[in-house]
Amino acid sequence: MMSPNSLVSHRWLVPSLLGLLALTGSVLSFTLGGYGLLVMTLIALTTVVCSGLNILIGLSGQISFGHVAFYAIGAYISALMTMAGVPLVLAMASAAVVTAAVGALLAIPAVRVSGPYLAMVTIAFGFIVHHGLIEWRSLTGGANGLIGVPMPDTGSLPASTGLALMAVALMVASLLFFHRLSGSSCGRAIRSVKATEIAARSLGFNPIQTKTLAFALSALFAGLSGSLLSPLMMFINPDSFPFTQSILFVLAVIVGGAGTVFGPLLGAILIVLVPELLSSMAEMRLLLFAGVLLAVLWIAPTGALGVLQARFSKSERVIPRQQPDTNRLASFLTCDAGVPDGLRVKDIGIRFGGVQAAERVSFTAKPGSVTSIIGPNGAGKTTVLNMVSGFYAPDSGRIDLDSDLAGLPAWKIARAGIARTYQTTQLFAGLTVLENLLAGMQRGRLGDCWRKPDPRQVDIAMDLLALVGYRGSVHTLAEALPHVDRRLVEIARALALKPRVLLLDEPAAGLSRADTDQVTELLRTISGFGIAVILVEHDMTMVMSVSDRILVLDSGRPIAWGEPEEVRANPEVVKAYLGSTDYQAPPRPKAWDGSRDATLFVKDLLIDYGAAPVVEGASLVVNPGELIAILGANGAGKSSILQAIAGLHSASKGSVVLNNENIETLDANQIAGKGLALVPEGRQVFPELSVRDNLLMGAYSRADRADLDQDVDDILARFPRLKDRINSPAGLLSGGEQQMVAVGRGLMAKPSILLLDEPSLGLAPAMVAELYDALATLRDEGVTLLLVDQMANLALQVADRAYVLETGRVVHSGDAETLRNDPELEAAYLGENVA
């Protein structure tokens, strides 16, 4: 990726290149004559604008198609002031101040919108300024503009050389500023918000603040640059600042390499020099220029420097110590102003639309204790975390730490000392591991724009990483980390906030047993520092062993609150939480004995999403009419296998053979056409289409479209519940009904094999029973099925054979009967369901 910080390890690279640039620029200022000097000065000024825009695009992740307006405002201010006899330097300062202020003003509407909406706001701003300059005749000279802007008095030096030197100095300064900014605490704040606004807010950063700052800084550079343009051209008018120039600025930043220090320089050279080189083409010039731009975009869509940097930059490998300095950590983490009662949540509740997602939830989390929130899927656990951490404002109730925090924005709650992690990790991509922690340590403060990180802070960050057991390099970019490390670093980052309360949302999801044990140990250590730990987790072994108190939720309502033993013994809990284990699926009347001519044959599958492999060397066979289950803990790679088979992600290696035909290189829609249907996790119905249309969509790839109505009726006979809902939008159905629609939709394709991904996830026990009955019927009718379900005992009841996955590898396989009675499997996997 285009992180400015992969350059950090080359500590002297950027400064020495900047020195070289300053030297070259100065030499050229004295040696180039006339026109060449003018062009060089223009390149320098354009670089300044683009470097400013780079703050907005590269660091802050926003975009502006109105930057020429700031350039124009700077130019007009400087022209008006110098024409009134004010020295140029003073005029430049005024231009900088005014454009920064205007930039901050524009940020008011701009930070509220994103994507194309943001583009439109900036375009509109550009037009308003352009036409404002035309209509405000008394000040701006209207469309005629301002003529006779004086050149500065540069003593014995020719004015053009003086201006060139100033422009070069400004260029070097702007590039240096960008470099220092991106490594400073302020820059980290801006980049964090860009990477993931959600996590940034939960670390105390106020996105409005960082985005506004980025706008203001970026406008300031455009204004400064413009203030040198008017004395250079000695003339300005509104047409000197056309809309297309704004687009060219953005283009320069992107093709140069957004987020890189020198990208804007490269881009500026492109957009200034190429038209000059083409000038003799007269009327052909714009045509050719457009062609050149397209070619550059095609060759380097992520920017020339981005491409080069990805190829050549290697960061220094720095690994945290094995053991943290416990004293230093203790003094960092232990709270001075302790809150003896810890976090007290009283009667909070929230509704989404018609659904009461949480109701009258109360609990306390004492300092130094671990409090767990458990409950079946969809019980509202994460909703409660989201209310406590400020992402949802509760409709009722109180959340007390020092004072009532209920309804405050996330960043304020974070600053009050509540840190959190996420189900799917939300590390700041583009920041290194160390920077992720340093960002946490800022507790939402912007800090300064210039200084490098304090060595003492780096030490503490290293200790925290050692504490969580991270063993990789601290200069690795967050997005390049393997799954386990992401979890660990995210916990370390939350600790860097110096929290009094730490919320952990399924920290063990996707971890192996050993890793989970390590995290369990870690939680004890963390609570040992006097932090109130609140844990949402499915892994019952972990919950039962680590928790001091447990809150059990069911359908948004608390049903039990107490110590682990109490909760475990509570019959209501057993019923709500483990109810589905009572279900007995109808067994196959007669054991499967069909053709061994495999319908689906998967061999040596390797799946990685750019980082560590998620699935490694998985092989499996599904014969016609078989029901095969793939089992394994959350994150073991089960779903990844199904998605790879269905063509949603391509596997890096291995082969998938469907009915004697290799399909691993085909796209999902082609695979669907070959008779493979996937009922995806989370159901993925088309929410605004009616149930009937959803079902009909399932038959899209079928060649014979004759008996569609009959087939729909068959599905309805299979799932009678859907009859009444046949014309309602599928999105309004309950989870279980949607699952039936999804299965029915899959069946409508008359597939030669049906893949089911976590069909029982989030369903009420009664629904699960109904669904599994239907699956058993399908099996008995001879439909070939490949089933993934976390509820292993459930899946094993209907399956003929099963494969057990652990961290991406097949560790067991065999017939369901044997596996069901395999104590080893129960210990390793079923532990969570029989806790």
Is the alpha carbon torsion for 600, 602, 608, 614 positive or negative? positive
Residue closest to 577 by CA, chosen among 543, 545, 547: 543
With beta carbons less than 8 A apart as the criterion, state whether 192 and 203 touch.
Answer: yes
Interaction of residue 235 with other proteins, rule CB under 8 A: yes
Residues 14-33 that bind other proteins (CB under 8 A): 33
β-pair partners for 372: 535, 550
Nearer to other proteins, 748 or 764 (CB): 748
Residues 815-834 that bind other proteins (CB under 8 A): none
Nearer to other proteins, 59 or 464 (CB): 59
Q: Within 10 Å of residue 149's Cβ, how many Cβ atoms?
A: 23
Nearer to other proteins, 22 or 385 (CB): 385
Q: Which of 84, 85, 116, 312 binds other proteins (CB under 8 A)?
A: 116
Q: What's the min distance (Å) between Cβ of 143 and other proteins? A: 4
Distance of alpha carbon 208 from alpha carbon 283, whole angstroms = 45
Q: What's the min distance (Å) between Cβ of 545 and other proteins? A: 27
Interaction of residue 609 with other proteins, rule CB under 8 A: no
Residues 729-748 that bind other proteins (CB under 8 A): 745
Interaction of residue 139 with other proteins, rule CB under 8 A: no
Nearer to other proteins, 68 or 576 (CB): 68
Q: Which of 15, 687, 720, 782 binds other proteins (CB under 8 A)?
A: 687
Non-local (6+) Cβ contacts of 60 within 8 A are: 190, 191, 193, 194, 210, 211, 214, 215, 218
3-state secondary structure of 346: strand
Nearer to other proteins, 673 or 831 (CB): 673
Nearer to other proteins, 739 or 797 (CB): 739
Distance of alpha carbon 510 from alpha carbon 420, whole angstroms = 18
Interaction of residue 480 with other proteins, rule CB under 8 A: no
Interaction of residue 158 with other proteins, rule CB under 8 A: no
User: Residues touching other proteins: how many (CB under 8 A)?
Assistant: 101
Distance of alpha carbon 526 from alpha carbon 519, whole angstroms = 10
Interaction of residue 132 with other proteins, rule CB under 8 A: yes
Interaction of residue 76 with other proteins, rule CB under 8 A: no
3-state secondary structure of 738: helix
Q: Which of 684, 734, 777, 821 binds other proteins (CB under 8 A)?
A: 684
Nearer to other proteins, 642 or 791 (CB): 642
Nearer to other proteins, 481 or 678 (CB): 678
Q: Which of 648, 657, 726, 776 binds other proteins (CB under 8 A)?
A: 648
Q: Which of 701, 739, 790, 797 binds other proteins (CB under 8 A)?
A: 701
Query: Residue-wise over 647-668: b if at least 16 C-beta within 10 A, else e?
Result: beeebeebebbbbeeebbebee
Distance of alpha carbon 806 from alpha carbon 794, whole angstroms = 18
Residues 280-339 that bind other proteins (CB under 8 A): 280-291, 293-294, 297-298, 301-302
Residue closest to 406 by CA, chosen among 393, 415, 418: 393
Of 118-126, 443-451, 466-474, 820-828, which segment contacts other proteins by CB under 8 A?
A: 118-126
Residue closest to 500 by CA, chosen among 388, 647, 662: 388
Nearer to other proteins, 63 or 508 (CB): 63
With beta carbons less than 8 A apart as the criterion, state whether 578 and 379 touch.
Answer: no
Query: Can you say how many angstroms the Cα of residue 422 is from the centroid of all Cα atoms in its chain?
Result: 11
> For the purposes of burial, counting CB atoms within 10 Å of the CB of 352, is it exposed (0-12), middle (13-18) or buried (19 or more)?
exposed
3-state secondary structure of 570: coil
Q: Which of 1, 109, 369, 659 binds other proteins (CB under 8 A)?
A: 109
Q: Within 10 Å of residue 635's Cβ, how many Cβ atoms?
A: 21
Nearer to other proteins, 260 or 797 (CB): 260
Interaction of residue 1 with other proteins, rule CB under 8 A: no
Residue closest to 52 by CA, chosen among 177, 189, 165, 207: 177
Q: Which of 112, 451, 452, 471 binds other proteins (CB under 8 A)?
A: 112
Interaction of residue 250 with other proteins, rule CB under 8 A: yes
Residues 392-451 that bind other proteins (CB under 8 A): 422
Interaction of residue 351 with other proteins, rule CB under 8 A: no
Q: What is the DSSP letter of 452?
A: P
Strand order in the sheet with 396-400: 355-365, 343-352, 396-400
Q: Which of 134, 458, 480, 612 binds other proteins (CB under 8 A)?
A: 134
Q: What's the min distance (Å) between Cβ of 621 and other proteins? A: 23
Of 12-20, 105-113, 532-540, 575-583, which segment contacts other proteins by CB under 8 A?
A: 105-113
